[in-house]
Structure 1
């Protein structure tokens, strides 16, 4: 299978049945459902439409998408719709990119406690940014924060971190003026790191005390409070990685960045190279390598099909868990009023939102029949026939055990 042709769906269709059988007791319902959805995405199993362009007379069959948030093929349109809704939130100021990363020991226990640990990662990162920004010694303002959860490294390893997009300023604490940060500098990452570390460990201890954490295998002993306290001690002394990048070059750059990050999955189909008897080969980026001529940062890696699928499924999120969240000025509650006040203080008019058309794709609005656009000439295509889906996406039924 040549470069550019391989998809995650091909790997699951070829090797998924044997992998399910071998890992039956280790795969969650969410992981099984993600596998089934990706395998069936844009195939006859989900139904679709037979289409004809009235202008260029091109016929095509368009199969339905699975719309699973872990599917590499379903995220482009989802990201586009989300970005159109977010344009109204952008302010004409510099924006900064901040990243909060969990230490490896906490990442290890996070896999079995995704909802709790990932939830704390969101809450404490946002709390840290809002608290330090409100401190008059730093900025003295109310800021807005958008956080996006990523749980992977480039090699598909488990690496939970959140990317934050923050405007370079905020509304003064008395609400009477806009406070801008220093040019090219948002907040001290050292101060952010210290507060993030302290508050996260306090909250993790509280979660342990309340019985919200589970431990298995080598970590089973951490269920004991004394063992857990001893395990936490070194984490109070090590450095926690928090960093801020230079400001984006205008709101357009913010949107371009968000379009790459908000709906990204563990690996894009474009990074897959081959699937053969050796396994699955894909491109990855070694961030620890400085990119010297004899040691390029962009490399290739080959994993067995089972190991590739195992790593991919590490990043399936718990059902109902939101991986994009807004805090402060752009929190869902009161967002419209707070952003209107920010624009008033900045002396700018409300943003005007225009929706771009999607060529060669389908668009759909809550229950309304999708509109298909011809990829050749851009005309609206006629639906000649609707293909009924074979069955709903779901995980395979559990094997019955005879009593």
Structure 2
């Protein structure tokens, strides 16, 4: 499923950027997988670092408009459609496994019924320019590349009641955001192990102009070709 998240995120970015109605250029992207929320809940998503432009069909560099990259509504709708299409394909191919309360979803009708409301739900794609500059974005994401789901500094105690740790409730405001939670040891371990990645899965992936094997030529073209005047 993490591979599917990577694949569809990259496909959607490259597809919309290449559309002449939008940027009309071949872009690059570095995607970083992040699986946890502050309370160790399972919240898989990818952060993307994307240059503010790409190579036009004539080989020139085409920059995005000032303060605008790609329409998030268009990205969101295409991501939703493509992710659910691929999820359905995996189910039809027998490549999904269900356990516990979800066992019934192995049946085609039950799975289709479960997917139906997701096709009407608004999916979130968030895009913004780096307020503190590109270096700050790289520094922020670099903290996740070789990090486990919770740092030692957030652990407060462990006793007969369980494990107590600090967490942030992002739905709250101001000082109310910082909270303390105690989980039974078994529940703490269950949540922690949710974020152990499958063997061989890389947390960082590069696509488009930045893809492995094409990065040197892609960046060379981006830095040496003139700007598109359109």
- The TM-score bracket by the shorter chain reads over 0.9
Q: How many residues are treated as equivalent by the alignment?
A: 227
The aligned counterpart of 2:65 is 182
8 Å CA contact 2:34, 2:47 repeated in 1: yes
Which segments of structure 1 move beyond 4 Å, counting only runs of 4 or more? Answer: none
Please state if 1:345 is matched with 2:225. yes
Find 2:24's aligned residue among 140, 147, 155.
Answer: 140
Please state if 1:239 is matched with 2:86. no
Greater CA radius of gyration, 1 or 2? 1
Please state if 1:330 is matched with 2:214. no
8 Å CA contact 1:330, 1:338 repeated in 2: yes
More helix by share: 2
8 Å CA contact 1:144, 1:331 repeated in 2: yes
Q: Offset of 1:140 from its aligned partner?
A: 0.8
Find 1:131's aligned residue among 9, 15, 24.
Answer: 15
8 Å CA contact 1:134, 1:173 repeated in 2: no
8 Å CA contact 1:150, 1:163 repeated in 2: yes
Deviates more, 1:192-201 or 1:210-219: 210-219
The aligned counterpart of 1:288 is 171
Q: Offset of 1:292 from its aligned partner?
A: 4.3
Whole-Å separation in 1 of the counterparts to 2:55 and 2:146: 29
The aligned counterpart of 1:112 is none
Q: Offset of 1:148 from its aligned partner?
A: 0.9
Q: Offset of 1:194 from its aligned partner?
A: 0.2
Find 2:96's aligned residue among 207, 213, 223.
Answer: 213
Find 2:87's aligned residue among 204, 213, 218.
Answer: 204
Shift in alpha-carbon separation, 1:292–1:304, aligned structure 2, 3 A: same
Please state if 1:315 is matched with 2:198. no
The aligned counterpart of 1:26 is none
Unaligned ranges ≥5, structure 2: none
**C-alpha distance after superposition, 1:284-334 (max 9, x if no partner):** 111122x145xx212111112222111101111111111111100000021
Unaligned ranges ≥5, structure 1: 1-116, 348-403
Q: Offset of 1:259 from its aligned partner?
A: 2.1
Matches within 5 A, 1:83-162: 117-162=1-46
For residue 213 of structure 1, give the secondary structure of its aligned residue in structure 2: coil
**C-alpha distance after superposition, 1:85-122 (max 9, x if no partner):** xxxxxxxxxxxxxxxxxxxxxxxxxxxxxxxx111100
For residue 142 of structure 1, give the secondary structure of its aligned residue in structure 2: coil
The aligned counterpart of 2:140 is 257
TM-score normalised to structure 1 length: 0.54
Find 2:180's aligned residue among 294, 297, 300.
Answer: 300
TM-score normalised to structure 2 length: 0.93
Whole-Å separation in 1 of the counterparts to 2:51 and 2:131: 10
Whole-Å separation in 1 of the counterparts to 2:134 and 2:117: 41
